[in-house]
Structure 1
Amino acid sequence: MAALPVITCGGVDPQVLNVVKPLYLPEYEGKRKFPNLVHSVTSAASGAIELPYLLQGKALPTSEDPNASTGENPKLPVSIFIGALYGDKEVEEMRQACQGISSVPWLKMDLAVPRPPLGPGYAEHVVKRVKACMKRIEAEGKLEEDGLWLF
């Protein structure tokens, strides 16, 4: 299977991205600084602005973020992965901004599922759950459908 381009929604700490990045490979990729990502959203407010552009394959008009997809046409993402920092309100804000545009699954961490504390093993646990969810979505033939999935 060819690697799939994705968008992640997380915090602003580059150390977290550096830990998570290699864990998504080889299934997921992109062409920015972090080779497994089309883009990394760092807040719901920025996601509400940036995601509509990216879901249409358009470059962002301007950005201070070194991981932003400016100046070139980014690959169309096949999914959006949303971390534990984003609650229902933040996810809804981003989804509302993409209404009528999104045709990809949005994966949100299910906070009811136990997970290890932040630290060693946390990133591996989260990525394992994301990959299992994506396999389930693919098996159900819903990779090209908008929807919210819990992982």
Structure 2
Amino acid sequence: MSGVPVIVCGRRAVIASAVREALSPDYEVIHVITSPEQGASEIPLVLSGKQPPDSSENPGSQDYSRPAVAVVTGGGYDDATFSNMKDACKAFPNVPWLRPDMSKMKDMPPGTDPKAYAKASAARVKEMLDELGVGRKKTDDGTYIY
């Protein structure tokens, strides 16, 4: 059985791929977003269960048979880029969006060891997704800080 399908937005593919690995097997990263522009155009498609165009090099599982039930963003997305992506998904008001609390990563800035940074981030993401019951029970609309 596959994990709960989610989207991960990470500016650095190496970190996003490591987060994908660390979330498995409970959560399946079906699509990875690496830019705000890509996010605004592709996240709505993936949330509706459709395959984005030219996703051949996407490091996600690319199993679009089930729509993603949550969107997880990394530290490379500021308030404006986060809002632009989320605003593009207004048709999906009940999908939870997770953002990092960067103060929790101050001892491990993104430029240090990408795998360690990704593993620490993924642990917090998994904890928040579990707490919200994402994919297992209905969640409230909103943005959640992990």
**Into which bin does the TM-score normalised by the smaller protein fall?**
0.7 to 0.9
Distance 1:138 1:39, change over 3 A: same
User: Partner of 2:7 in structure 1?
Assistant: 7
Question: Runs of 5+ in structure 2 lacking a partner?
Answer: none
Out of 41, 54, 57, the position equivalent to 1:63 is 54
User: Partner of 1:129 in structure 2?
Assistant: 124
Contact 1:104 1:143 in 2 (8 A): no
Normalising by structure 2, we get a TM-score of: 0.81
Contact 1:49 1:97 in 2 (8 A): yes
User: Partner of 2:133 in structure 1?
Assistant: 138
Note if 1:83 corresponds to 2:82: no
Number of corresponding residues: 140
Greater relative contact order structure (CA < 8 Å, 6+ sep): 2
> Residues 56-101 of structure 1: CA distance to partner in whole angstroms, max 9, x if unpaired?
11222x22651288x9844211211100000111110011111122
Out of 99, 107, 125, the position equivalent to 1:108 is 99
Note if 1:44 corresponds to 2:36: yes
SS across alignment from 1:104: coil
SS across alignment from 2:133: helix
Residue 16 of structure 1, CA deviation:
2.5
Letter in 2 for 1:111: M
CA distance in 2, matches of 1:58, 1:38: 11
Contact 2:30 2:63 in 1 (8 A): no
Contact 2:10 2:35 in 1 (8 A): yes
CA distance in 1, matches of 2:118, 2:63: 30
CA distance in 1, matches of 2:94, 2:18: 28
Distance 1:46 1:128, change over 3 A: same
Distance 1:144 1:2, change over 3 A: farther
Contact 2:19 2:121 in 1 (8 A): no
User: Partner of 1:33 in structure 2?
Assistant: none
Question: Runs of 5+ in structure 1 lacking a partner?
Answer: 30-36
Normalising by structure 1, we get a TM-score of: 0.78
Distance 1:100 1:20, change over 3 A: closer
Letter in 1 for 2:132: I
Aligned residues: CA RMSD? 2.8
